[in-house]
Every structure is written in C-alpha cells, then in structure tokens.
Amino acid sequence: MHILSHHGDYIISCTCGVLVRELETAEQRTKRQCDQLEDAWEILNEATTELASRIVSLPPDIFVSLRGAKDLISLCKSHPTVTDLSSSEIDSHEGYCVACCGSDIVGRIKCELRSVEDLLILRAMNEVGSDFALKLQEKTMKAWSAMKPLTLTTR
C-alpha cells in the first residue's frame, strides 16, 4: 500500500511501512494549488451560468474576474517556473483584483474567485431569493473545500 499526503510544506509518503518525508517545493505547492483552484473555477463558472439562466442581470465584474482567473490558472499550469512570475506579469491579466497580490499568483486567483462568489451570492439573494442563494452558497463551499490538502491512497 502506498499513501501520499500533502501536509503544509511536506509531502509524506508511506510505502511498505517506511515513512518518507520530503519537502514540497514552492513550485510544486503552487502548481498543486492551481490545479485545485481550477476545480473551484469550474464550480463558480457553473454557478454563474445557472444564475444567468434565471434571467438575472449579472454585473460584468463577474465575467471579467472569471476570465482573468481562468487565464491565470492556465498560466500557472503551463509556466515552467511559476514562482518566478513577476507582479507585472500577473497583473497584465484582467480582473477585479489587479495589483492586490503582487507576485502571488495563487493569492490573485483566490481573490478573483472570492469576488465572483460574493457577487453571485449577493445577486442571487437580491433577485432570485434566499433559497436559491443558499443552494448557490452550498455549491461555492464545494469550490473552497477543494483547497483542502490532497490525500491519495493507492494499492
């Protein structure tokens, strides 16, 4: 049995009773977080589509932030050394949170997605009602539960 678990800055793996603790590099941690944020983006994008289908007028900031977050996630996943990105490279992507997070691409993506979440729930509450807004909030909570440390068990 092989267990791989992420705990903070460490990757802990156990094979045949031998525990190995390896330092997870900043690069690995950032790439892993970007993968998790892509799952969060998918849930928020679906929630946006669902709310828009109810003929609710959505502010353009939602779409700008979703587009910017998706571009940053793609950059994070494809850039060979994402930890070397400068704040100007990150801020060149549109969004609500431009200039908020410096060279922290994960922080910037989280900021964009949290802004989308807040705007969606507020708009749902005001235009569709509290029942729908609460269901929407449950969906967005799933997006953030994706940010919990990953555990993978294989046999």
Chain mean pLDDT for the chain: 80
Task: Parse the chain into domains and list their residue ranges.
Answer: 25-148
77: burial class by Cβ within 10 Å (0-12, 13-18, 19+)?
A: middle
DSSP letter for 94, please.
-
Residues of the chain with pLDDT below 50 are 1-4, 7, 9-11, 14, 18-20, 150-155
pTM of the model: 0.76
Distances (CA, A) of 60 to 71, 131, 136: 17, 24, 19
pLDDT in tens, 113-137: 999 999 999 998 988 889 988 988 8
